[in-house]
Amino acid sequence: MARPDAPSVSDSRATSQGYDVDRGVIHTFAGGSLDRAAHLRNDPQRIQELLEAESARFLPFRELDPLVAEGPTPSLVWLPRVEASAFVDVQAEVLFLGLHDGTPRFAVTVPEDLQGGDVGPAGTTFRSVREVAPLLAIPDASIVAMGRSLVSWNAAHRHCPRCGGQASAAQAGHARRCTNESCRTTQFPRTDPVVIMLIHREGHCLLGRAVRARKYPPGLHSCLAGYVEPGESIEEAVRRETWEEAGLGIGRVRYHSSQPWPYPSTLMIGCFA
């Protein structure tokens, strides 16, 4: 899903406009500039210092939707610790996103009954990611992808997959560890690969429509897509999905680009065939 305002390949406008002369088209959710500072995740003392820093900022998510300031160009709303602590125990579930110009950034989950007017400055609301992501600046959309995926994964993995015991957040929210001393299994977030492909021949292309998806607007079609199965290459997945969905055999598969897709945490791998 490229940004609507992404220029053509011949345009040399800067990254902030959706295109970079060295990297090509930057899709929504990609092209982030946040320093993830992964080396700090295993340093609890340093994470605690960042958590307590006056400059620390927290991005609230309600049911996986971020807090956004309305306007012609929506933007993310970052709260200082004192404001975030009024709605959630920021210490209990630390979700460290990284550093922005040296300032620590975190994601927090707030209660489901919290309204946009209850938190942050006037004119803020919790917006659906599908709705607001294409309108956000590239760095903001990238942060939403990361934060949404971490929030979703931590909420869904409260128990150990090995023994069923309680699992607590570890590595600043980038892992969960079983609290059972005889187990102590550590689990990590996963990213599920998905192929999405434009099948073409002699100036024509193949699009599909999900007949089972009642929410599809009338007349909307899309490229074929599907999950990569265990033990399968990207090329094999493209061929299998095209055969399963359209009954067509295809020739050479060519990679185009990729895109994080936080629903809840997949990587869209774009191909031509």
Q: Which domains, and CATH codes, for the chain? A: 32-156 (3.90.79), 192-272 (3.90.79.10)
Residue 121 class from Cβ within 10 Å (0-12 exposed, 13-18 middle, 19+ buried)?
exposed
Its sign, for the CA torsion 5, 10, 12, 18, is positive
Element (H, E) at 45: helix 44-52
Q: Which two tokens stand for residue 19?
A: 């295109």
Q: What digits encode the pLDDT tens for the residues 16-31? A: 445 554 556 679 999 8
pLDDT at 79 over 90: yes
Q: What is the DSSP letter of 210?
A: -
Report how far residue 134's alpha carbon sits from residue 124's, in angstroms, rounded to the nearest whole number: 18
| pLDDT > 90 in the chain, percent | 76
pLDDT over 50 at 218, yes or no: yes
Q: Is the pLDDT of residue 14 over 60?
A: no
Angle at 34 between CA 33 and CA 35, to 5 degrees: 115
The per-residue pLDDT for 94 is 79
Q: What confidence tens digit (pLDDT) does each residue in 147-191 have?
A: 999 999 999 999 999 999 999 999 999 999 999 999 999 999 999
Q: Are 177 and 250 in contact (CB under 8 A)?
A: no
Query: How many Å apart are CA 139 and CA 251, to the nearest integer?
Result: 37
pLDDT, mean of residues 111-135 = 89
Q: What is the rounded average pLDDT for all residues in the chain?
A: 89
What pLDDT score does 115 carry?
A: 80
Q: What pLDDT does 116 receive?
A: 73
